[in-house]
Amino acid sequence: MSKTPVTLYIANPRGFCAGVDRAIQIVEMALEKFGAPVYVRHEIVHNKYVVEGLKGRGAIFVDELHEVPDDAPVVFSAHGVPKSVPAEAERRKMLYVDATCPLVSKVHREAERHERNGYEIVMIGHAGHPEVIGTMGQLPEGRIKLVETVEDVETLEIGDPDNLAYITQTTLSLDDTADIIAALKKRFPKIQDPKKEDICYATTNRQGAVKAVSEKAEAVLIIGAPNSSNSQRLVEVASRAGCRSRLIQRASDIDWTWLEGITRIGISAGASAPEVLVEEVIAAFKERYDVRLEPVMTVEENVQFKVPAILLKDQE
């Protein structure tokens, strides 16, 4: 029996970004250098497959620092941590490695600079997300006000509208954020922009690639974790472009009945999803369909971040 032909439009760029690559590499190098177990505060990146793989090599994931023995090495996740966390590690004389993405660290420094210059600070982001908790925790409580929607801007109470600046989470929807920024500027005309866009290059690039794929496809599958902000935003980008879209963690999550009658399908992956999961999804399609692969390239990425010096010492 012949298979139904389908075209898979594969978004590029997709999957791992430089910050995620670096964070995983940090845990792997820490395991090599210090030996197992190495503790990791929070999921190093939001992907179950990656986390399980590192657990298998001797990483132990915990929610808070008090779960880590004083004499064990600990890695802080790519999303960043409040200042209280390294301060507590220093107090306990712990060996710690900070895997915060350098682009998240940039936003941290920005918040500190605004504070030094006497500005009130508004953060655009999702309440409860580790990155938002980490960024807001760079300053004393209450110094950064969080807005999630255009509606939040309307009820925002600011003491001095002439000395106001905003920062953003790095993994937001470009379109949604633009609407919130427009609302902030309308209400507070003197609000200061970031010197350079806070939403990171990888988020921007992946959303652009999904938009391009959505112009060709009837439905889009995004590979990523439910708690991954950048993956959820990719689903929204495809929906906004008029495509049916769903988030899946693995090939086993594909709802084949949902795809019945569809012959043009887009595939992308969030910044914390490894390429092996993309290959797994493509293989699942090949089992059922006569597949034609069509890459959709929007921009080439060549960003790399250095790992912390503590992991390189003694490696002559």
151's enclosing H/E stretch is helix 150-154
Three-state DSSP class for residue 19? helix
Look up 131 and say whether it is catalytic. yes
What region, left, alpha or beta, does residue 24 occupy, with left being phi > 0 and alpha being psi -120 to 50 degrees?
A: alpha
Residues sharing a CB contact under 8 Å with residue 139, sequence separation 6 or more, in sequence order? 111, 112, 115, 121
158: which residues sit within 8 A by CB, 6+ positions away? 120, 122, 145, 164, 188
* C-alpha span between 256 and 45 (Å, rounded): 28
Structure tokens at 242: 């008029």
Catalytic residue among 43, 110, 120, 131: 131
Answer for the pair 274, 47: CB distance below 8 angstroms, yes or no. yes
Contact 101, 23 (CB under 8 A): yes
Active site residues: 131
